[in-house]
Structure 1
């Protein structure tokens, strides 16, 4: 358990929790210095996993995701395979879990879900341009694949893929949708992240439609299931949802919507909340 002082420093409201990661991404040089004790950070992750294991709400996360994987054709067996391929998992935008308590518990939740659903950690790719050298090493020791390229969320899938995108920027979700913009492909995308309805509610509708048009098209036909959390972890898991894209609902959208495949540019966005691929900085190379 973290000291009371460290826990109190992240007791923020919904906006502040999201803003913390956004500010960190926009100013990566402000990321925490390299931790001196890697064993300490690994121990803290283990402690966070054990703490969450004692929380009732995590069981609901487990059951919801388990049902989702079964519904998409993925069993939660040891092999966790469908046909000839293994279930893939992708985590973007986790943040500096060595210094940020919220990010550490979000990582702990992911590990706990993998353990409970018998999903090998090695099937999950991780990326955040703010990861430090030590954090990349810890993730690799845990078994994760640490990506070296900033995909900006633009990962196309061809079979059910689970994306863990906690408190990420709107552009990341919009980019992911654009990369899989087809009523045949989107049902393969499974997301645990910010509620799309919540994103819509916090924006002016005209800006939502102009800047994040793939999100705006899909928000009313995706299937959202709110994910619970206890009061203690409200700042860590607030506004979280399991989001799926049922084929029958996608078919209700006008066919013309699927023909617009223009890559998002965000030229009107002054507060983008993600680091774009062209924004190179020293941290980009630390996961190599």
Structure 2
């Protein structure tokens, strides 16, 4: 029954994918896998699949909420249709492992198997967890509060309408030039967060969001009339290597774990026990 409800949103969201794929071509992430050598290449470009990972937080109770259902539908469409140019090689230079690479250009296409998409929301019930498992997604068993290290694996985080603390925690868990340059965050606009909060509050309560603003590139999520309340204030964020390197060196010296007072409106559900930042292979 729940899976049938996903059909209509999937059909309606098809048109959103084209501008998204085009926008994400600005993101140049070095994939974790390399193309397999082939002696016979007839095409001008060589396409190879690169297995990135995806992590989804806070999608909500999709069995009863239309907005959450549409966000889940887009996630499935995103995993299926996403095609992003991540590497282009024109054959120039002398660092080649085989002669055939010297005469072709190639690029990787990002394709994320559903089993490489990790998903969690503390509000999921048993039926929703069962549906997600049936869909082939990997349901996390613990509340990470966003404190997940990518462990050098290029990763796309899908976090629509999550609390600012969740983004702050995620940035802290990956607070290095190397890690941040391999991440994409689809979620609340960082520019929007900056505009809504006083500077002193942003710097005090969400210091990692505040410090990364100058190292961030952001593209607004394409808006459609039917989905204004579903993806409003949503943007794609990535962290270009050159921009990160240009940040002051002291940006990276302080790496204290975020702590929040009980009075703060975090808009996240806290974990019931203390835990260290998990790795992508743990679930």
* TM-score under structure 2 length normalisation: 0.77
Equivalent residue, structure 2, for 1:161: 155
- 1:270 is displaced (CA, Å) by 2.0
Superposed CA offset, 1:39-63 (max 9, x none): x21100122111212xx33321233
Q: Matched residue pairs, number?
A: 233
Q: Say which SS state the counterpart of residue 157 (structure 2) adopts.
A: strand
- 1:106 is displaced (CA, Å) by 0.8
**Structure-2 separation of matches of 1:229 and 1:105:** 14
Equivalent residue, structure 1, for 2:29: 72
- 1:119 is displaced (CA, Å) by 2.5
Q: Is the 8 A contact 1:62 1:113 kept in 2?
A: no
Equivalent residue, structure 2, for 1:109: 74
Q: Say which SS state the counterpart of residue 131 (structure 1) adopts.
A: coil
**Structure-2 separation of matches of 1:179 and 1:99:** 32
Structure 2 alignment gaps of length 5 or more: 34-45, 83-110, 275-282
Q: Is the 8 A contact 2:146 2:169 kept in 1?
A: yes
- Please say which structure displays the higher CA radius of gyration: 2
Equivalent residue, structure 2, for 1:133: 126
**Structure-2 separation of matches of 1:80 and 1:197:** 33
**Structure-1 separation of matches of 2:218 and 2:272:** 33
Equivalent residue, structure 2, for 1:219: 213
Equivalent residue, structure 1, for 2:260: 266
Listed as ranges, the matches of 1:206-285 within 5 Å are 206-267=200-261, 269-278=263-272
Match of 2:9 among 48, 53, 66: 48
Q: Which has the higher helix share?
A: 1
Match of 1:174 among 163, 168, 172: 168
What's the C-alpha RMSD, in Å, of the aligned pairs?
2.1
Equivalent residue, structure 1, for 2:19: 60
* TM-score under structure 1 length normalisation: 0.76
Equivalent residue, structure 1, for 2:62: 97
- 1:102 is displaced (CA, Å) by 1.0
**Structure-1 separation of matches of 2:264 and 2:210:** 19
Q: Is the 8 A contact 2:162 2:188 kept in 1?
A: yes
Superposed CA offset, 1:133-188 (max 9, x none): 10000000000000001111011111210100111110110000000101122101
Q: Say which SS state the counterpart of residue 6 (structure 2) adopts.
A: helix
Equivalent residue, structure 1, for 2:140: 147
Q: Is the 8 A contact 2:17 2:81 kept in 1?
A: no
Structure 1 stretches of at least 4 aligned residues deviating more than 4 Å after TM superposition = none
Structure 1 alignment gaps of length 5 or more: 1-39, 281-287
- 1:79 is displaced (CA, Å) by 6.6
Listed as ranges, the matches of 1:13-32 within 5 Å are none
